[in-house]
């Protein structure tokens, strides 16, 4: 039951999300096996993150997008549970503030990009500007742009191009970008919403806005399909992760993250002759003091 990460990589060209599964055969035998497999992947990610931090040449940006209740929070929590908090930064982007609306749509996320040696996680991202905003173009009024979608047929393509250029720039400068769409079915989403209503400890996660947005399901599916097709590149690939089975989704995401880090061929920095000499001198000084 080995996971082939490439099987979940988005295709080139146009795509329809309804052609892609929200559930696949599990990569685990039972619940205990799923936990064991995830633990091994998480351990590997933690080891690679230490090398990422030590080498200080690359950074990794993981972007998670999905419909509500697809499991973004839980996936991030479980997959990165073995990463040193000093080497990982997680940001969740909600409705933009007045200050953020006075800048271009990439500005607020650019402030949160990971430093070299670190893993950055965007729980939602600048992609909201071609997803939520495309489904609700009335939100553009607050951005006071020179031209909106009604005035310029190329408006959304220009935003896609800005995103592609942005991610290509990040790639050229040492930030590897990997994007995940957690593909949940409408029925599974309904069941998860009901579970939130039934569990008092999860009531806070639910809002009537979630139900209203469900009514725009087809619009969101179309927006996601266009967005993924337009911004899936070699430098910043999209992965379509079947998300109806949370355990399976976490295993798939963890495998992709680990494979991505391994492809960077990370290693601890090699010491210069001078640095080795300083270490030898330090050892002798410490040994001498212990004898004294």
Give the sign of the dihedral formed by CA 238, CA 242, CA 243, CA 247: negative
Residue 258: both structure tokens together: 């680990």
Tens-digit pLDDT profile for residues 8-37: 999 999 999 999 999 999 999 999 999 999
8 Å CB contact between 79 and 250: yes
The residue ranges of every structural domain in the chain are 5-291
Q: Is the pLDDT of residue 101 over 80?
A: yes
Residue 28: both structure tokens together: 């685990």
Q: How far apart are CA 245 and CA 248, in angstroms?
A: 5
pTM above 0.85, yes or no: yes
CA angle centred on 35, ends 30 and 38, rounded to 5°: 120
8 Å CB contact between 18 and 265: no
Q: How far apart are CA 174 and CA 197, in angstroms?
A: 44
Q: How far apart are CA 161 and CA 237, in angstroms?
A: 15
Q: 19-23, 142-146, 224-228: which has the minimum mean pLDDT? A: 142-146
CATH code 3.30.70.20 for 5-291: no
Query: Which of 39, 42, 22, 41 shows the shortest CA–CA distance to 181?
Result: 22
Q: Is the pLDDT of residue 289 over 70?
A: no
């Amino acid at each position: 039951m080995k996971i082939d990460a490439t099987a979940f990589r988005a295709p080139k060209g146009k795509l329809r999300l309804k052609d892609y599964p929200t559930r696949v055969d599990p990569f685990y035998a039972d619940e205990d096996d799923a936990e064991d497999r995830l633990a091994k992947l998480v351990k590997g990610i933690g080891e690679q993150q230490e090398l990422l931090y030590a080498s200080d040449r690359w950074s990794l940006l993981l972007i998670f997008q999905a419909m509500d209740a697809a499991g973004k929070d839980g996936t991030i929590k479980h997959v990165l549970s073995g990463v040193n908090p000093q080497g990982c930064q997680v940001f969740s982007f909600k409705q933009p503030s007045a200050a953020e609306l006075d800048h271009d749509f990439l500005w607020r996320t650019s402030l949160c990009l990971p430093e070299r040696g670190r893993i950055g996680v965007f729980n939602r991202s600048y992609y909201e500007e071609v997803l939520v905003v495309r489904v609700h173009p009335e939100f553009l009024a607050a951005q006071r742009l020179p031209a909106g979608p009604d005035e310029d047929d190329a408006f959304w393509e220009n935003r896609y191009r800005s995103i592609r250029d942005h991610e290509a720039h990040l790639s050229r400068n040492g930030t590897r970008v990997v994007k995940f769409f957690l593909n949940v079915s409408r029925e599974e989403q309904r069941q998860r919403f009901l579970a939130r209503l039934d569990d008092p400890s999860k009531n806070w996660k639910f809002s009537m806005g979630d139900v209203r947005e469900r009514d725009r399901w087809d619009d969101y599916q179309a927006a996601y399909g266009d967005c993924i097709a337009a911004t899936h590149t070699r430098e910043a690939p999209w992965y379509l992760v079947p998300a109806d089975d949370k355990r399976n989704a976490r295993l798939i995401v963890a495998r992709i993250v680990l494979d991505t880090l391994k492809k960077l061929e990370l290693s601890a920095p090699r010491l210069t002759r001078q640095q080795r000499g300083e270490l030898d001198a330090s050892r002798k000084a410490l040994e001498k003091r212990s004898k004294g």
